[in-house]
Amino acid sequence: MAEKKNNSLHGFSDEHVKLIRETVGSEAVSETEFQRFLYRASKLGLDPLDGQIHLLTRNQKNYDTGRWEKTNVIIIGIDGFRAVAERSGKLGGVIKEPVYNEKGQLVRATAKIYRNDWQEPAVESLPFREYCKTKEGKPVGMWASMPETLLKKCAEAAGYRMAFALELGGNVYIEEELDKNAPEKTPKNNSFESKDNTERVDEQEQKTEEKQQNHTRTPEPKAANGQDFSGELLLLDSPDYLDKLDDYVVPAFSTDEDETYFLIGIDKSYQAQDIVQVCGKLVKEDNQNRVYVEKCEVKDSAAEETQRRLYYRDGPKDGKKSDVTYALAVDKDGTKYYISASGGTRDLLKEQLSKVKEGDEVIVTGPAEETSKGVAIEMESISA
Q: What predicted TM-score, i.e. pTM, was given to this entire model?
A: 0.49
CA pair distance 99, 363, nearest whole angstrom: 18
Whole-angstrom Cα distance, residue 125 to residue 293? 35
Domains of the chain (ranges; CATH) run 79-173 (no CATH), 221-298 (2.40.50.140), 304-383 (2.40.50.140)
Give Cα separations from 254 to 158, 314, 319, 329 (angstroms): 34, 16, 11, 16
Amino acid found at 46: L
- pLDDT tens for 98-109 read 999 887 889 999
CB-CB contact of 379 with 371 (8 Å): no
Specify the length of the chain in residues.
384
Are 161 and 183 in contact by the 8 Å Cβ rule? The answer is no
Tens-place pLDDT, residues 10-34: 678 888 888 998 888 888 888 888 8
In angstroms, the CA 149 to CA 66 distance is: 39
- Tell me how far CA of residue 273 lies from CA of 124, 138, 298, 336, 350, in angstroms: 20, 18, 10, 17, 21
Interior CA angle at 284 toward 281 and 287, to 5°? Answer: 150
Helix (H, G, I), strand (E, B) or coil at 184: coil
Tell me, what's the pLDDT at 115? 94
The predicted pLDDT at position 199 comes to 45
For residue 283, the Cα-to-chain-centroid distance in whole angstroms is: 31
Task: Give the separation between CA 189 and CA 72, rounded to whole angstroms.
Answer: 20
Q: How far is it, in rounded angstroms, from Cα 57 to Cα 60?
A: 9
Spatial neighbors of 348 by CB under 8 A, at least 6 apart, are: 101, 102, 103, 341, 379, 381, 382
Contact 184, 133 (CB under 8 A): yes
Distance CA 106, CA 151 (A): 9
262 in helix, strand or coil?
strand
Cβ–Cβ under 8 Å, residues 160 and 113: yes
CA dihedral 247, 301, 182, 279 (to 10 degrees): 10
Q: Which sign, positive or negative, has the C-alpha torsion 375, 379, 383, 384?
A: positive
Q: What are phi and psi of 295, to 5 degrees?
A: -150, 140
Amino acid at site 39: Y
Edge-to-edge, what's the strand order for the sheet holding 106-115? 91-100, 106-115, 122-127
* pLDDT, averaged in runs of 10, over the chain (384 residues): 48 86 86 89 89 83 74 88 93 93 88 93 90 81 90 93 86 78 40 40 47 43 71 80 76 75 83 80 82 80 69 80 76 85 79 87 83 79 81
Helix (H, G, I), strand (E, B) or coil at 34: helix
